[in-house]
Structure 1
Amino acid sequence: MTKIRVLIVDDSALIRQLLSRLLNSAPDIEVVGTAADPYIAREKIKLLKPDVLTLDVEMPRMDGLAFLQHLMRLRPMPVVMISALTERGADITLQALEYGAVDFVSKPKLDIAETFHEYADEIINKIRAAASANIRPVLNLPKVVKKEHKPTPATIISVPPKYSADVILATQTHRRPFRTTEKIIAIGASTGGTEAIKFLLSQLPAHTPGIVISQHIPSTFSYSFAQRMNQISAMTVYEATNAQVILPGHVYIAPGSHHLLVERDGARYVCRLHEGSPVNRHRPSVDVMFRSVAQNVGPNAIGVILTGMGDDGAHGMLEMHQAGAVTIAQDEHSSVVWGMPGESVRLGGVDHVVPLSQIPQRLLNLLDIR
């Protein structure tokens, strides 16, 4: 078996040691080298030819963002950012995703040596996804003017249980009547999703129906992400709050610490936040949101599943499809990782498989928006 060759770039000797031990514990991953700063990394990339690079956000001599920009211009390759769970770290990491990083891993602020193993499953899976990611030049999207070495000893990895959406929201055996014809667009995404969502929101007009979004992202990052999307969208973008009314021309992004459900309150739709167990090891979970949309919006909804690792959202999209909603999946070529949309297609819950560049117009056509 050919192993995924990883180069670790981090100024912390402790992080380099912990990451090396953790990644070398996976049978299909090999850490081929480490570097304490971007200048050393540049030489080791030439010498070792790694498949994936992990890159610290804040680095000496040259910061991670500057190095990433040079790297993606001169030698594009899969990069996973190592980010601190801080407001500044969130903003820099979101910029890194704009510059071409595939994904990011959040490192704890305290007791790193004691708690780093809790991130093992996430880190290993993100390295695997990055190794098979589609790396392409970063597009300059138009902005919309808003209206007002040697293997180390193996690490024992504890994998958390994988719950379905049933732990949050029970399935329904009967169809509820739908008293309103107001439309809602539900979007789910993971790896590569922040940039895919940015593209969609930059292309949709201010009078688009209300949009709810579940993107796999830490709670420290979701508010910053919503703010950045608000700057580029003609719609008004929020980090969703509990009982917030869903209105046309507005976008509601799930907080990174809660599931986002859509419920009905009379003739209105509202956001409902749920702090329950992770579903498919994610909170927010796309499956949970899609199930709530299937049950409460039904044929008045459009579901969109974008690039992402794993299968979260695939079963929920099938339920939306069965409830009469129109469903769209991003195609494989334009996806960074065709996990979630690919599984949705496999289950038979997708009406349209569309390149990312064509999804905005497809939505406008389905909604008969000019």
Structure 2
Amino acid sequence: MLSQLHNENRMRRTRNNIWIFIGIVVLAIFITACDADNSTSPGDKSTLDRGRTYTQWLYQNQIHDLWDHVSDMAKMQMGNDMGNLATYRDLLIGGLGEEVSLLNERVLKIQSTHFYERTANFTGLPMPGVLEWWLNDSQEILLLDGRALEPEAHSNFLEYHTKTQLRLPFDGEWVVLWGGRTTLDNYHAPARDQRFAYDFLVMHGGWHYTGDGSRNEDYFCFGLPVVAPGAGIVVTAEKNVPDNTPPEENLAQPGGNYIVIDHENGEFSILGHFRQGSIAVNVGEHVTPGQLLGLCGNSGASDLPHLHYHLQNTPTFLSGEGLPAQFQNYRANGKRIDRGEPTRGQLVEVR
């Protein structure tokens, strides 16, 4: 139950980020499930107005007003103590500082969860920052998150076309937790090797776990199969790193249990955070697309179960340059995609 300025391993978070989770600190996921149609619905207008109101209450330290609009679930996770919300607010504003100028607002939705995103310049940050509110269908507060938006790493591969015939590394419908080419949509983007990385998880009913989220088994993706995204040879298979208990992390072993696949064309797939003891392949083994690699876990620099994936031009984890990973033959928010790069918040599945 805390909020803090992070300066941690680049595998996990962008430096100087501020993360607040109502009740438990996790990897904050701002899920966006918008189509190309950017028209505003009545629900969007309600979320926009409510997000603006909550932001002003936050800035003006109107804790009682905010508390009256926190969901029962979030209150329970905070021990039904309004003082914890006041602490979150002070830590967040202490890191961001005052808002100087508003740059952009965005309203999005996935399943029954609504999101209001506010990008602005703040006195406490040397770069723009973003506030994100998670709201339920009743417009009650589920989560508040704030972070700095670092610039994206330079890349020599912005126009690169993936050589490997890639499929999504799972079956069934997953959510793109982080993915895209901007720091706004992908916190990995400031890291040179993970410039185009993805994090995936599973959501049901607009949320990513059941219970109180204190056990790995509470998370819908924990223990689900992870499969080979393309043909190649396994060159690294770390299998014995213990899974973390949410929201703990193992920053000393950032990849946790991870696999590197050499696609034998200068491209290397890296998949991370497997469940301890679940990796089913060995170094030197040739894998085929869709072959079981292991189970989704929560090992390494991970504070909640999810799958990390990225493509790069060397076989060594945390070195080299990231490459765009263009997957083939999948659905994104129900739309058929022949070849594309999934983006943050999309619901994706192999078609």
What's the TM-score once normalised by structure 2's chain length? 0.30
Comparing both structures, which one devotes a greater share of its residues to helix? Answer: 1
Task: Name the structure, 1 or 2, with higher relative contact order (CA <8 Å, separation 6+).
Answer: 2
Normalized per residue, which structure has more strand? 2
* Largest Rg, 1 or 2: 1
